Chain A
Amino acid sequence: MSTGAKVMALHGGVLVLLFVLQFILPAYHHGNLARIMVLASYAVGYNILFGYTGLLSLGHALFFAAGMYGMGLGIQHLDLSVAPALLAGVLAGAVVSTALALLALRTSGVAFMIVTLMFAQAGYLTVLYFGEFTRGDEGFVIQQAQRVLWGIDLSDPTNRYFAALILFALSLLASLWLVRRPFGKTLVAIRENEERVRMLGYDTYKHKLMAMVISGTISAAAGAAYGLLFGYAGASFASVQYSIFPLLWVLLGGAGTVLGPFVGTLFMFYLIDLSSGITTAYMLIAGVVLVLLTLFAPQGLIGELRNRLWRWLP
């Protein structure tokens, strides 16, 4: 099999498997998997900037929340129906990520991390400040009647699963398509050695800008979908923790691999799910995993797999 065929078979196979699991899984895991697929879409978005372009953002919660609140506030206060509300969320993410990119890309390295962290924190505080509309930490529920898209009730578990699968499939395929195109290969080269890419005649600033907007927009789509499918928007989704999560998932699964974000999200979700039965301090697990990863497996699960077995993995 050619590399291209192997790649298609593997990623197509994962999507087919996820489709089939819908009919097999017990209700509890079925619900979990829908949630994981939405969160993994967020991680896929994050991975485009961090994994492929080499820019470590600590502020992606801003984009996730922009999508969630663009959608949620649209439904709640502007009486939008589902489709325009989703669009509003995605657009909000695109606008916010463009604005932050224009500012943050003037810096690099550690300064970039802190700038993204600070602006995301300002975004989180803004959500709290306008508590009158956002209901702050408490958040607001999106009623079942408001979650009907083209006659399909998205609060129904089966519909919800399919919606999550469609979102995940779209982001996965978009990311796969992107990294196999010259644009994506240039991003990888920027990650490896930006100065050299510039001296080959590429406008690296424009490439990074595009990468950040694409990454932010996918993250916003995931945020909007999360609010819609699970019927809730709250300030905690804008907090630092939700900027750290995608970093954690991507690191665990393998930064700069197409399947890594999903694998990382899946592992971390069940790790926390299982440990929350034992202790309330479940973030301890996240902390330990982060430290162990930086120490022993900076390439992540899929990254190690690529290094050891399947060198053709994108």
Chain B
Amino acid sequence: MELGPYLILASLEGAVTAAVLALTAVGLSLVFGVMRVVNIAHGEFFMLGAVIAWFIAHSLGGHPAVGFAVALVAAPLIVGAIAVAADMTILKRVDYDPERTIVATIGLLYIIQQLALMTYGPDARPVEAPFNTRIALPWFERGEGGWQMIWPWGLGTTTYKLAVIGAAVAVLLGVWLLMKRTRIGLVMRATQADRDMALAFGIPVERVYAMVFGMGAALAALAAVLIVPIQQAHYLMGADPLLLSFIVVIIGGLGSLPGTVLAAVLIGLSDGIISVFFSPTLAKILATLLVGLVLVFRPEGLAGKRGA
């Protein structure tokens, strides 16, 4: 394939990556923004979403759309509930001390990962997409008789991938509306701005924290359910989303939702395109170095000012 069609294909794949990444990263960003907690176990909530989706789809049988639809609702709810439980039993008890919560969430990471290994096993397993029609894309090329339309082999996408992008956009809009337009959002923003003040005004900060932690995890799980028909569910699949979400959240400015989404689109798209030119390992090296250097020299993020 020539470079032109290849780049289009890479951007399409990149857009799917960006959509899923935006959901996962917004979850991480929300938790960091409101609670000032760096959740190292975030990638494991993502993995749990995928694994639970597989369990549900596998045990329901029937048309793949049924299992998938149930998973789409149930997996984020279950993962959210697990996160709320973790918040109330662990994070609350270390009083959200930044360093101790990091150590505790590292512990949580291993617990979730290893429990998944013990129950789900070491295999990678797919979940069937509810619908998956191929859409071929045309390309224009200058041939002997002037410009002509051709259909390069391999250039195309599927209805499911487009649906993933659409779903992510819808959910992100929903989160944005929740934060900006509802009472719950107001309460969350008040808690983010000043915890003690929020407490003084009678906001049940502990319940807000539990809810935010659950919501952050549920967003990661939702992203995983969306991606699992394209990738497969595996107990170690949480590492990459964690790393990428970190990159996105840090570059987008810690705790800023619009910045996070922007950075996710940027990273998702460039991830696809960069891997055309570089080896994936080199791309990851550059990305991790970038995050480190941004934190050292521009801690407020590339996108600009601090805060949402």
Give the B-binding residues of A (Cβ under 8 A): 56, 58, 103-104, 106-107, 109-111, 113-115, 118-119, 121-122, 125-126, 128-129, 244, 247, 251, 279-284, 286-291, 293-295, 298
CB-based contact A281/B115 at 8 Å: yes
Contact, CB under 8 Å: B289 / A291 = no
Asked if B299 contacts A111 (CB within 8 A), the reply is: yes
How distant is the Cα of A279 from the Cα of B122 in the complex, in angstroms?
13
Q: Does B53 make an interface contact (CB < 8 A)?
A: no
Contact A280 B117 (CB under 8 A): yes
Which residue of A has the minimal Cβ distance to B98? A110
Spell out B's residues near A (CB within 8 Å): 38, 90, 93-94, 98-100, 102-104, 106-115, 117-118, 243, 246, 250, 279, 281-282, 284-285, 288-289, 291-293, 295-297, 299
Instruction: Decide: A294 near B299, CB < 8 A? Known: A244-B106, A284-B111.
Output: no
The answer to whether A288 and B281 have CB atoms under 8 Å apart is no
**Alpha-carbon gap, A114 to B102, bound state (A):** 10
Q: A107-B296, A107-B299, A129-B282 are in contact. Are A114 and B250 (CB under 8 A)?
A: yes
* Alpha-carbon distance between A219 and B108 when the two chains are bound, in angstroms: 26
Given contacts A114-B295, A284-B115, A290-B110, A122 and B289 within 8 Å (CB-CB): yes
Can you pick out 19 interface pairs between chain A and chain B where the beta carbons lie within 8 Å of each other? A56-B103, A103-B292, A107-B295, A114-B291, A114-B295, A115-B292, A118-B291, A119-B289, A122-B292, A126-B285, A128-B281, A247-B106, A279-B118, A280-B117, A281-B115, A287-B106, A287-B112, A287-B114, A291-B104
- On whether A125 and B288 interact (CB within 8 A), knowing A291-B104, A294-B107, A295-B104, the answer reads yes
Q: Within the assembled complex, what's the spacing in Å between the Cα atoms of A106 and B38?
A: 19
Which chain B residue lies CB-closest to A114? B295
Contact of A294 among B38, B103, B281, B289 (CB under 8 A): B103
Contacts A56-B99, A129-B285, A290-B103; A106 near B110 (Cβ below 8 A): no
Contacts of B281 in A (CB 8 A): 125, 128-129
Chain A residues within an 8 Å CB radius of B99: 56, 109-110, 113
Q: How far is the CB of A110 from chain B (nearest CB, A)?
A: 5
Which A residues touch B112, using CB under 8 A? 287
User: Given A283-B114, A294-B107, is A119 in contact with B292 using a C-beta cutoff of 8 Å?
Assistant: yes
Whether the pair B103, A251 counts as a contact (CB closer than 8 A) is: yes
Residue of A nearest to B286 (CB): A122
3 tightest A-B CB contacts, nearest first: A287-B110, A290-B107, A284-B114
Separation of A284 and B110 alpha carbons in the complex (Å): 6
Interchain CA distance A166-B269 in the complex, whole Å: 53
Q: B245: shortest Cβ distance to chain A, in Å?
A: 12
Shortest Cβ distance from residue A13 to the other chain B in the assembled complex, whole angstroms: 31
Complex contact A294–B292 (CB within 8 A) = no
Q: Distance (Å) between the CB of B147 and the closest chain A CB?
A: 42
Cα A286 to Cα B100 with chains together (Å): 16
A284 to B113, CA, bound (A): 8
Given A114-B38, A284-B118; A295-B93 close (CB under 8 Å): yes
Q: A284-B111, A291-B107 are in contact. List 20 more A-B contacts (CB 8 A).
A: A58-B102, A103-B292, A106-B297, A107-B296, A109-B99, A111-B295, A114-B38, A114-B250, A115-B296, A118-B246, A118-B288, A119-B292, A244-B106, A284-B115, A287-B106, A287-B111, A290-B106, A290-B107, A294-B107, A295-B93
Nearest A-chain residue to B243, judged by Cβ: A121
Inter-chain contacts of A118 with B (CB < 8 A): 246, 288-289, 291-292, 295
A190 to chain B, nearest CB (A): 15
What residues of chain B lie closer than 8 Å to A279, measured between beta carbons? 118
* Known A106-B296, A122-B288, A294-B107; contact A281-B118, beta-carbon cutoff 8 A: yes
Q: How far is the CB of A253 from chain B (nearest CB, A)?
A: 14
Bound CA span A286–B99, Å: 18
Partner of A291, one of B111, B113, B114, B296: B111
